[in-house]
Amino acid sequence: MNMAGAGGTDLNPGQLWDAIVAGAGPAGSTAAALLAERGLRVLVVDRAIFPRDKMCGEYLGAGCVDLLTGFGVELRDTHPIRAMRVTAPDGTVFNAPYPEGRSGLAIRRSQLDALLLENARRKGAACLEGFRVERLLLKDGKVQGVEGRLHGGEEKQFLARIVIGAEGRNSVVARHLGLFRWNRSHRRTALGLHYEGVLPVNGFAEVFLGAGLYGILNPLGAGVANLSLVVDHDASLSKGHAGAYFAEALGRLPALRERLAQARPLEDVKVLGPMAHHAARASADGALLAGDAAGFYDPFTGEGVYMALISARLAAAVAGEALRRGDCSARFLRSYDRERSAALGGRYRLEAAIQRIIRHPRAADLVSRRLREREDAASCLMEVLGGLAWPRALLSGGFLSAFL
């Protein structure tokens, strides 16, 4: 259990931190690193001991790679993804390549999170693993710190001028502040596991669309691939029978099932759902929400980590300015909501539009046939979903002409 920062700082429960970041995933570790770079006293806490496994598609878009490189993260043990290959419900196949010389990366989530936390430590943040945040410390409605317990049961509390909640959809910060909301119109569950013996297809990640579900096969190298099936949410999945449910769902994607005919699963099926949620707002008096704690829609576009990094950068900038001014009030921090909406709102709307298409097989078939005929349009879509272009690029004449 690590209880010290990069400089060996003791974690004295009585000291006042400039910022506490709850959650050491992509958003949390990145926000902590960026704040520590400013010379601020930052503590990042997480209930896990790293490296840790977490259910994820394990894919980084090219724009996401650019962000991580800019943050000083040294990516290792990666596998290049140069294009997406999509199989529509009727069997139509189209390729969506990155621009020449660009690629995304596949990387184990356990490896990615460990690298991000390592980067936060290197930048000067103190890190406490194995600490579960259980509640916020409040005074007159203002967040002043966190309280929780170590794996051994010892209770601790830490004080801070500002708290950033980055613990994903189960964020204690979001829930304690009453900000968490399920998305009632889009309820999907992901089933995931790794396979070995998967024959590679020239640097492609593969997407398979079906009626009411889709699958994503992401190669990690050496014949190992990450498989995610996303289906309509079924409450019975949380009670077991995930393996049988997975087999039935896989049977509804014959092209994917054929791809896995000679492959072997490496573990039991993991379940995560429902996934879509949002926060009523991403700021409060003395607190901000970043990454999935502030909202998540659907993994289809592969933008989860990218959007988490963008929100972390914005949260660190607003928090840093608030600390410099000595004003961590809800009124000042509300600027984060506006900036986050401006940066990510278009991407959430694009995700929703894509979901409306893939939920209807005939529409998915039609769009797939169009994109098969116009690889330039498919490449434009890949640039947007890969974080290399803004969603408004899809309003260009070249992209729209493919459908008119």
Query: In terms of C-beta density within 10 A (0-12 exposed, 13-18 middle, 19 or more buried), how is residue 318 classed?
Result: buried
SS3 211: coil
Rounded to an integer, the average pLDDT of 292-298 is: 96
Residue-level pLDDT at 237:
77
Per-residue confidence band for 13, with pLDDT thresholds at 50, 70 and 90:
low
What is the structure's pLDDT at 255?
97
Please provide the CATH number assigned to the domain covering 59-107+184-272. 3.30.9.100
Cα 390 from chain centroid (whole Å): 18
Instruction: Choose among 180, 197, 33, 178: nearest CA to 115.
Output: 33
pLDDT at 384 over 60: yes
Q: What's the confidence (pLDDT) of residue 272?
A: 93
Decide: 341 and 63 in contact? Cβ < 8 Å.
Answer: no
> Do the beta carbons of residue 218 and residue 205 sit within 8 Å?
yes
Taking residues 312-322, report their average pLDDT. 98
The whole-number average pLDDT for the span 374-393 is: 94
What token pair was written down for 118? 């390592």
Segments making up each domain of the chain, as ranges: 16-54+110-183+277-350, 59-107+184-272
How many Å separate Cα 247 from the centre of its chain? 26
Instruction: Indicate whether 3 pLDDT > 60.
Output: no
| CA dist., res. 396 & res. 398, Å (int) | 5
Confidence band, pLDDT 50/70/90 cuts, at residue 162: very high
pLDDT of residue 125: 98
pLDDT at 119: 97
CATH 3.50.50.60 fits 16-54+110-183+277-350, yes or no: yes
pLDDT-derived band at 2, boundaries 50, 70, 90:
very low
Q: Rounded to the nearest 5 degrees, what angle is found at the Cα of 195, between the Cα atoms of 190 and 197?
A: 155
Res. 202: pLDDT tops 50 = yes
Read off the pLDDT of each residue in 278-285 and give the average, rounded to a whole number.
Answer: 98
| Average confidence (pLDDT) over 272-277 | 94
Band of the pLDDT at 241, cuts 50, 70, 90?
confident
Rg (CA), the chain: 21
pLDDT band for 5, please (50, 70, 90 cuts).
Answer: very low
pLDDT at 403: 63
DSSP calls for 2-19: --BBTT--B--TTSEEEE
Find the mean pLDDT for residues 60-87: 96
Rounded Cα–Cα distance for residues 127 and 106 (Å): 26
What φ, ψ does residue 335 adopt, rounded to 5°?
A: -60, -25
> Is 240 exposed, middle or buried (CB count within 10 Å of its CB: 0-12, 13-18, 19+)?
exposed
Helices (H), ranges, 106-212: 109-122, 172-176
**Residue 397: per-residue pLDDT:** 66
Order of all β-strands in the sheet with 277-279:
180-182, 277-279, 295-296
> Where does the pLDDT of residue 14 fall: very low under 50, low under 70, confident under 90, or very high at 90 and above?
confident
Give me the DSSP letters along 63-93.
HHHHHHHHTT----S-EEE-EEEEE-TTS-E
Please name the helix (run of DSSP H) or strand (run of DSSP E) that holds residue 197, with its range, or none.
Answer: none
Instruction: Over range 352-370, report the average pLDDT.
Output: 95
Q: What is the pLDDT of residue 88?
A: 98
How far apart (Å, rounded) are the C-alpha atoms in residues 47 and 23? 8
Tens digit of pLDDT for each residue in 118-161?
Answer: 999 999 999 999 999 999 999 999 999 999 999 999 999 999 99
pLDDT in tens, 371-383: 999 999 999 999 9
- Asked whether residue 322 carries a pLDDT value surpassing 80, the answer given is yes
